[in-house]
């Protein structure tokens, strides 16, 4: 039997049901049906006696016989009631519809197995619309013990494709295949992990004999699914390295050494040194670098990026850094400008607001090689922007750029694509990084630079506002500055958020001019006005910045020591963490104050408690993943990769790590999957690549 056979050809399905299964559950082939794994199971290993029933409306299974039927009139129509008995007592079975068919198909005094929820009423137990089948059929059927409950939709149920029907067609699939499914994992892996063979695993996940076998079957199939995802990602990386040649930067020269010896503003952390070493190895390896540099807010990614650029310059190449917003580009440019001046390196910035004359000058000096480093926004992707010799392209907050935009940068290289370094300050949980970015090499900066003090975070309710304002005054008196962030701009009728304009007015009353100066920034302002207000705050001309989340990324004011987040329960965890990262950039102690009402959901409480208890972005990302699920965190662009059939990226973290370890080990030993013992892996990998499984989801 071929598992790629269209589902229409399975006995009991037919064209109408096939059409519904395709539309509702994406089941096109026998293989898709086989991969429709149950959501949960009803334990049907136990048979109750009628005198053992409890008045708790639980699902039970009883063997007995129908003694008689009677019809009972009710307000609308009538109901059919059967007296059902075993050797310990009697109860009632009730049907409100389909009475004629039920009466015709059931035989009094014949042994049946009934299953369903019991009700207790007027001193008698009853079971409405029970699952019922003759005892002899029940003994023969595959689902004797644990009954699988499959994913479904309202439409399927309304059209008569109930769980029982899905069960029946699943049994038919096993009958037609004689439970002969090709093994997909090599013997040494099955033995090393003591995994069930494929046939047993598939049978016991759909028709488990007991809990122990079900657990073994689920483990085996989860491992297999995650193993092939990891194999694909690691292979993609290996193929990338062997096929896509990169420029070889074989020397670390004058720029790098002068900066390292004379101009380094502080000692690098171990994590920064490790990241630079990994990048240096990539740049000298003859293959194109494809690395993700992940580090928390303020962990010092910029200096690692700059020192990587210096290696490119030492080898006679140009470098560029692309950021998603103008504010962030300007910040990067200002941050690197002093260092470049010290080293006599030419650096420019190109954004949407760069004037025509300056643009023309940048284009010319890029093409003739005079311009060594270019910082900018999407403007770098324009066709007019041509480099003489681009060797390294750095993308900041890469999840804000589409795949097509990233590929445009690739084509800016002359003979080869430039080396790519992708940076993100959004900590990605390690499990998610393994699954979504598993084809990139990963460098993690998980320490803060020396002298950085962790931000103290507290949660305060609205009725403590006067104390909070007093604290803000004290900090301003010490010469510090304060951010106050609101979730909305205009008042929403449905939501009683503290709205920005309201907030601004009340803050202006409590902090009156001329003693206090206040900046206001929100998304509906013109870019020029926004920049003007940001600059006033950055220069220290205003002490308070009232803003929406536009200041989430890209404002660096070391003198700002307090971040107040209004209606903090309305923000996601990663957003709260990003906002908190705007303070704590100087040597002084900084504070983050989360203001909320007393009405909080359980999820909101968890988010606030997490923020108060830790500054570790990775820990926060793990909690966020549990609360929101993988699809939300990655956004639509990457959520497809997590379209898993049986594994769960959050609950099966240990299995994922094990799968990655074994996939890596196998490919280190046999990168081309050419050894006879790995023939089954190669065959499965080819099959998966051929049929629309997981590979087309990986960006």
Same domain? For 230 and 263 the reply is no
Encoding tokens for residue 470? 């007093």
Confidence of residue 584 (pLDDT cuts 50, 70, 90): confident
Same domain? For 160 and 280 the reply is no
Same domain? For 321 and 418 the reply is yes
Of all residues in the chain, what percent carry a pLDDT higher than 90? 49
CA 504 distance to own-chain centroid: 36
pLDDT at 554: 52
Q: Which position has the token pair 């420029």?
A: 247
Domain boundary among 614, 630, 653: 614
Average pLDDT over residues 73-96: 92
679 domain-assigned: no
Confidence of residue 488 (pLDDT cuts 50, 70, 90): low
DSSP H or E stretch at residue 443: strand 441-445
Cβ contact 657:222 at 8 Å: no
Return d(Cα 408, Cα 406) in angstroms, integer: 5
Return d(Cα 173, Cα 167) in angstroms, integer: 10
Domain boundary among 423, 445, 467: 445
- Exposed / middle / buried, residue 383 (Cβ in 10 Å: 0-12, 13-18, 19+): exposed
Q: Which of 25-34, 118-127, 388-397, 543-552 has the lowest mean pLDDT?
A: 543-552
Same domain? For 85 and 196 the reply is no
Average pLDDT over residues 113-141: 89
- Which of 80, 452, 12, 437 is CA-nearest to residue 272? 452
Long-range contact set of residues 465-469: C-beta below 8 Å, sequence gap at least 24: 465/595, 468/564, 468/593, 468/595, 469/510, 469/511
Q: Is the peptide bond before 514 cis (omega within 30 degrees of 0)?
A: yes
Q: Which of 21-35, 43-57, 381-395 has the lowest mean pLDDT?
A: 43-57
Cβ contact 171:147 at 8 Å: no
Confidence of residue 493 (pLDDT cuts 50, 70, 90): very low
Encoding tokens for residue 151? 């994913």
Same domain? For 80 and 200 the reply is no
- Exposed / middle / buried, residue 185 (Cβ in 10 Å: 0-12, 13-18, 19+): buried
pLDDT at 695: 35
Return d(Cα 341, Cα 187) in angstroms, integer: 61
For residue 100, the domain's CATH number is: 2.40.50.140
Return d(Cα 172, Cα 48) in angstroms, integer: 29
Same domain? For 485 and 470 the reply is yes
Average pLDDT over residues 218-245: 87
147 domain-assigned: no
For residue 424, the domain's CATH number is: 3.40.50.300
| 465 or 448, which is more confident | 465
For 278, residues 6+ apart whose C-beta sits below 8 A from its C-beta are: 291, 441, 443
DSSP annotation of 438 reads: T
- Which of 46, 29, 33 is CA-nearest to residue 165? 33
User: Taken in order 228, 229, 232, 233, is the CA torsion positive or negative?
Assistant: negative
Helix-helix angle 270-283:301-314, to 10 degrees: 30
pLDDT at 414: 76
pLDDT at 692: 44
| 187 or 407, which is more confident | 187
| Each residue's pLDDT tens digit, 247-295 | 999 899 999 999 999 998 888 999 999 999 999 999 998 888 989 898 8
Same domain? For 492 and 599 the reply is yes
Return d(Cα 448, Cα 379) in angstroms, integer: 32
Same domain? For 399 and 437 the reply is yes
- Which of 54, 78, 53, 79 is CA-nearest to residue 64? 53
Q: Which position has the token pair 């998610």?
A: 432
- Exposed / middle / buried, residue 263 (Cβ in 10 Å: 0-12, 13-18, 19+): exposed
**Residue 393 backbone phi and psi in degrees, to 5:** -120, 125
Q: Is the peptide bond before 284 cis (omega within 30 degrees of 0)?
A: no
Domains: count for the chain = 5
List beta partners, residue 146: 43
List beta partners, residue 126: 92, 119
Encoding tokens for residue 540? 């220290």
Q: Which of 172-186, 489-503, 518-532 has the lowest mean pLDDT?
A: 489-503
Please give the mean pLDDT across all residues of the chain.
86
For 589, residues 6+ apart whose C-beta sits below 8 A from its C-beta are: 453, 456, 561
260 domain-assigned: yes
Cβ contact 86:71 at 8 Å: no
| 574 or 393, which is more confident | 393
682 domain-assigned: no
Confidence of residue 435 (pLDDT cuts 50, 70, 90): low
Angle at 456 between CA 452 and CA 460, to 5 degrees: 160
Return d(Cα 326, Cα 614) in angstroms, integer: 31
Residue 506: is its pLDDT beyond 90? Answer: no
418 domain-assigned: yes
End-to-end CA distance of the chain: 34
Buried b (16+ CB within 10 A) or exposed e, 4-13: eeebbebeeb
Residue 456: is its pLDDT beyond 70? Answer: yes
pLDDT at 130: 92
Same domain? For 276 and 380 the reply is yes
| Each residue's pLDDT tens digit, 605-656 | 999 999 999 988 878 887 887 787 665 444 433 434 456 788 877 778 789 8
Confidence of residue 504 (pLDDT cuts 50, 70, 90): confident
pLDDT at 23: 92
List Cα–Cα distances, 6 to 32, 89, 182, in angstroms: 9, 49, 19
Cβ contact 577:607 at 8 Å: no
Same domain? For 522 and 501 the reply is yes
| 692 or 415, which is more confident | 415
- Which of 233, 397, 270, 402 is CA-nearest to residue 327? 397
DSSP H or E stretch at residue 334: helix 326-343
Encoding tokens for residue 605? 């409480």
Q: Which of 86-100, 226-240, 494-508, 568-582 has the lowest mean pLDDT?
A: 494-508
Average pLDDT over residues 98-104: 88
What residue spans of 72-112 are helical by DSSP H? 99-105
692 domain-assigned: no
467 domain-assigned: yes
Cβ contact 92:81 at 8 Å: yes
Encoding tokens for residue 126? 């009853």
pLDDT at 431: 67
Cβ contact 213:219 at 8 Å: no
List Cα–Cα distances, 123 to 70, 90, 92, 152, 417, in angstroms: 19, 11, 11, 36, 80
DSSP characters over 33-59:
HHT---SEEEE-S--B-GGG--SS--E
pLDDT at 696: 35
Cβ contact 421:400 at 8 Å: no
Residue 120: is its pLDDT beyond 50? Answer: yes
Average pLDDT over residues 422-434: 75
Same domain? For 233 and 308 the reply is no
| Each residue's pLDDT tens digit, 328-383 | 898 899 889 999 999 999 999 999 889 999 999 999 999 999 999 999 998 999 98
The two most distant CA atoms of the chain are separated, in Å, by 100
pLDDT at 43: 72
| 642 or 89, which is more confident | 89
pLDDT at 179: 79
Average pLDDT over residues 505-516: 91
Angle at 341 between CA 339 and CA 345, to 5 degrees: 95
Residue positions counted in the chain: 699
539 domain-assigned: yes
- Which of 33, 233, 228 is CA-nearest to residue 688? 228
Q: Which of 316-320, 630-634, 663-667 has the lowest mean pLDDT?
A: 630-634
- Which of 488, 456, 486, 452 is CA-nearest to residue 471? 456
Residue 20: is its pLDDT beyond 80? Answer: yes
Domain that holds residue 36: 1-44+152-178
Same domain? For 232 and 100 the reply is no
Domain boundary among 243, 264, 287: 243
Cβ contact 311:280 at 8 Å: yes
Q: Which of 93-107, 161-175, 399-413 has the lowest mean pLDDT?
A: 399-413
């Amino acid at each position: 039997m071929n598992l790629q056979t269209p589902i229409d050809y399975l006995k009991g399905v037919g064209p109408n049901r096939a059409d519904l299964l395709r539309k509702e559950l994406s089941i096109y082939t026998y293989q898709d049906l086989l991969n429709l794994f149950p959501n949960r199971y009803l334990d049907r290993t136990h048979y109750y006696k009628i005198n053992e029933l409890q008045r708790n409306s639980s699902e039970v299974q009883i063997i007995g016989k129908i003694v008689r039927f009677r019809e009972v009139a009710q307000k609308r129509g009538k109901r059919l009631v059967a007296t059902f008995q075993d050797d310990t007592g009697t109860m009632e079975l009730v049907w409100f519809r389909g009475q004629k068919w039920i009466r015709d198909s059931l035989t009094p005094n014949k042994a049946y197995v009934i299953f369903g929820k019991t009700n207790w009423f007027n001193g008698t137990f009853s079971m409405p619309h029970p699952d019922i089948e003759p005892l002899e059929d029940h003994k023969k059927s595959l689902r004797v013990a644990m009954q699988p409950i499959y994913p479904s939709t309202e439409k399927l149920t309304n059209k008569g494709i109930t769980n029982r029907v899905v069960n029946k067609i699943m049994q038919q699939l096993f009958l037609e295949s004689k439970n002969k499914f090709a093994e997909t994992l090599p013997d040494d892996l099955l033995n090393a992990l003591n995994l069930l063979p494929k046939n047993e695993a598939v049978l016991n996940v759909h028709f488990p004999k007991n809990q122990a076998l079900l657990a073994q079957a689920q483990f085996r199939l989860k491992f297999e699914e995650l193993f092939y995802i990891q194999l694909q990602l690691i292979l993609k990386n290996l193929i990338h390295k062997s096929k896509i040649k990169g420029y070889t930067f074989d020397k670390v020269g004058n720029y790098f050494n002068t900066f390292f010896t004379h101009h380094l503003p502080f000692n690098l952390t171990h994590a920064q040194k490790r990241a630079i070493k990994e990048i240096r190895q990539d740049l000298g390896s003859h293959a194109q670098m494809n690395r993700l540099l992940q580090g928390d807010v303020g962990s010092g990614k910029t200096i690692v990026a700059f020192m990587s650029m210096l290696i490119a310059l030492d080898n006679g190449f140009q470098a560029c850094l692309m950021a998603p917003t103008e504010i962030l580009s300007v910040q990067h440019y200002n941050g690197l400008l002093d260092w470049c001046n010290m080293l006599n390196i030419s650096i420019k910035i190109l954004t949407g607001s760069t004037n025509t004359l300056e643009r023309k000058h940048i284009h010319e000096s890029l093409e003739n090689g005079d311009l060594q480093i270019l910082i900018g926004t999407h403007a770098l992707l324009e066709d007019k922007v041509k480099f003489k010799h681009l060797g390294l392209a750095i993308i900041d907050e890469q999840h804000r750029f589409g795949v097509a935009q990233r590929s445009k940068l690739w084509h800016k290289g002359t003979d080869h694509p430039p080396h790519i370094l992708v940076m993100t300050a959004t900590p990605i949980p390690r499990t998610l990084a393994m699954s979504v970015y598993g084809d990139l090499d990963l460098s993690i900066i998980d320490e803060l630079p020396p002298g950085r003090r962790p931000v103290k975070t507290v949660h305060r309710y609205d009725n403590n506002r006067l104390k909070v304002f007093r604290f803000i005054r004290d900090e301003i008196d010490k010469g510090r500055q304060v951010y106050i962030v609101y979730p909305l701009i205009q008042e929403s009728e449905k939501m009683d958020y503290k709205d920005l304009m309201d907030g601004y007015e009340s803050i202006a009353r409590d902090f009156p001019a001329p003693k206090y100066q206040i900046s206001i920034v929100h998304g509906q302002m013109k870019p020029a006005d926004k920049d003007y207000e940001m600059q006033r705050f950055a220069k220290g001309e205003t002490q308070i910045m009232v803003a929406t989340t536009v200041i989430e990324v890209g404002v660096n004011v070391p003198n700002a020591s307090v971040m107040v987040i209004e209606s903090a329960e309305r923000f996601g965890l990663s957003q709260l963490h990003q906002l908190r990262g705007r303070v704590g950039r100087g040597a002084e102690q900084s504070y983050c104050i989360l203001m909320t009402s007393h009405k909080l959901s359980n999820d909101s409480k968890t988010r606030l408690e997490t923020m108060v208890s830790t500054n570790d972005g990775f820990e926060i990302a793990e909690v966020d993943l549990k609360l929101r699920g993988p699809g939300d965190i990655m956004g639509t662009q990457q959520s497809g990769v997590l379209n898993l059939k049986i594994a769960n990226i959050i609950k099966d973290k240990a299995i994922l790590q094990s799968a990655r370890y074994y996939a890596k080990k196998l490919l280190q030993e046999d990168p081309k999957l050419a050894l006879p013992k790995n023939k089954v892996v190669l065959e499965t990998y080819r099959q998966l690549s051929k049929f629309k499984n997981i590979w087309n989801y990986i960006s």
